């Protein structure tokens, strides 16, 4: 994956940016149709009768749940504009705990599960003439892409450190700090490019392909150039023929796909996704759920 330094490749979409907090503000406007794909949640069934050495309940089994699975327990309603906090009654990002031992974790925000992305490439590939020429936008604000992370070194032991150990630790800390500073400087230098100025979400642009994303293990090998590890799925993704856009807003627990009516209908009919039709003016902010309150 290489950096795209010509940010004008996103000018067509920038001209179609909608209102912030809406579907069009995340994926652009002017498409025939749009679908919202809810991010699945992870769930663990715990043995609440005992605790392990860390005072945690042992996990008996784990699974991936849909929002509809949660709604069947909370009494909430899953619909196109559903919001996790409204569905679960949570005011924060805490887990949802049920009496039968199941603990449900909140859905991932700004991250579209690579397995689902791989499945979606089937529909995306059928709807573009340029599957090998994609532009991916990655939010510049992720901490590991800023080149400004800090490092702390401390002492851990049962006894108080001796003078010799303190001096050894000091030398070690200076060595590790120098290596860390060099690594951060290399990241800053590698990413010193013009940013794609999507409203409220400046991004790096990267080259990708659909065959690449069709392999769900691609994040294990993803790097920007030779220096920077890429630990994120794209915030925005589009082909060079501009036939569709895929967008995962960093603060949303769902992903938008916008394009032709035929492609969106195919996504909505695919039971691998928990997907709903939305329009470009749909409000997907936390307060945008008119059903669950």
If 0-12 CB within 10 Å is exposed, 13-18 middle and 19+ buried, where does residue 185 land?
exposed
pLDDT of 25 > 70? The answer is yes
Half-sphere exposure at residue 129, Cβ-oriented, CA atoms within 13 angstroms: 2
Span 240-245, average pLDDT: 98
pLDDT of 148 > 70? The answer is no
Percent of the chain topping pLDDT 70 = 96
What pLDDT score was predicted for residue 158?
66
What pLDDT score was predicted for residue 163?
83
CB 140 within 8 A of CB 195: yes
For residue 135, which of 213, 227, 252 has the smallest C-alpha distance? 213
Q: How far is 122 from 125, CA to CA, in rounded Å?
A: 5
Q: How far is 28 from 10, CA to CA, in rounded Å?
A: 11
For residue 190, which of 140, 239, 250 has the smallest C-alpha distance? 140
The lowest-confidence range among 92-96, 222-226, 234-238 is 222-226
Question: Which residues are paired to 259 by β-bridges?
Answer: 33
Please give the mean pLDDT across all residues of the chain.
90
Q: How far is 181 from 214, CA to CA, in rounded Å?
A: 36
What pLDDT score was predicted for residue 196?
95
Which has the higher per-residue pLDDT, 68 or 168?
68
Residue 168 structure tokens: 């050894």
Q: How far is 43 from 65, CA to CA, in rounded Å?
A: 7
Span 177-186, average pLDDT: 77
Span 266-283, average pLDDT: 97
Reported confidence tier of residue 278, pLDDT bands at 50, 70, 90: very high
CB-CB neighbours of 124 under 10 Å: 24
Q: How far is 60 from 62, CA to CA, in rounded Å?
A: 7
What pLDDT score was predicted for residue 147?
64
Span 253-265, average pLDDT: 98
């Amino acid at each position: 994956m290489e950096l795209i330094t010509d940010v004008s490749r996103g000018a067509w979409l920038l001209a179609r940016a909608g209102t912030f907090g809406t579907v069009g503000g995340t994926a652009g406007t002017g498409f025939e149709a749009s679908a919202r794909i809810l991010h699945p949640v992870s769930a663990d069934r715990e043995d609440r009768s005992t605790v392990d050495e860390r005072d945690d309940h042992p996990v008996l089994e784990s699974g991936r749940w849909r929002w509809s699975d949660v709604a069947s327990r909370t009494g909430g309603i899953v619909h196109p504009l559903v919001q996790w906090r409204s569905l679960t009654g949570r005011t924060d990002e805490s887990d949802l705990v049920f009496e039968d031992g199941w603990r449900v974790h909140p859905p991932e925000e700004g991250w579209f599960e690579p397995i689902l992305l791989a499945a979606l490439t089937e529909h995306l590939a059928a709807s573009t003439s340029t599957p090998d020429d994609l532009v991916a936008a990655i939010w510049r604000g992720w901490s590991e892409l800023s080149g400004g992370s800090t490092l702390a070194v401390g002492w851990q032991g049962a006894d108080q450190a001796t003078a010799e150990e303190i001096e050894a630790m000091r030398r070690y800390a200076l060595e590790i700090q120098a290596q860390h500073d060099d690594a951060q400087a290399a990241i800053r230098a590698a990413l010193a490019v013009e940013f794609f100025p999507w409203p409220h979400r400046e991004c790096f642009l990267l080259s990708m392909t659909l065959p690449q994303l069709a392999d769900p293990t691609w994040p294990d090998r993803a790097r920007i150039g030779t220096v920077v590890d890429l630990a994120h799925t794209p915030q925005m993704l589009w082909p060079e023929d501009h036939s569709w856009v895929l967008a995962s807003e960093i603060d949303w627990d769902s992903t938008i796909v916008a394009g032709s009516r035929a492609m969106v209908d195919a996504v909505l009919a695919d039971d691998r996704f928990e997907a709903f039709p939305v329009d470009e003016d749909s409000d997907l902010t936390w307060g945008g759920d008119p059903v669950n309150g």
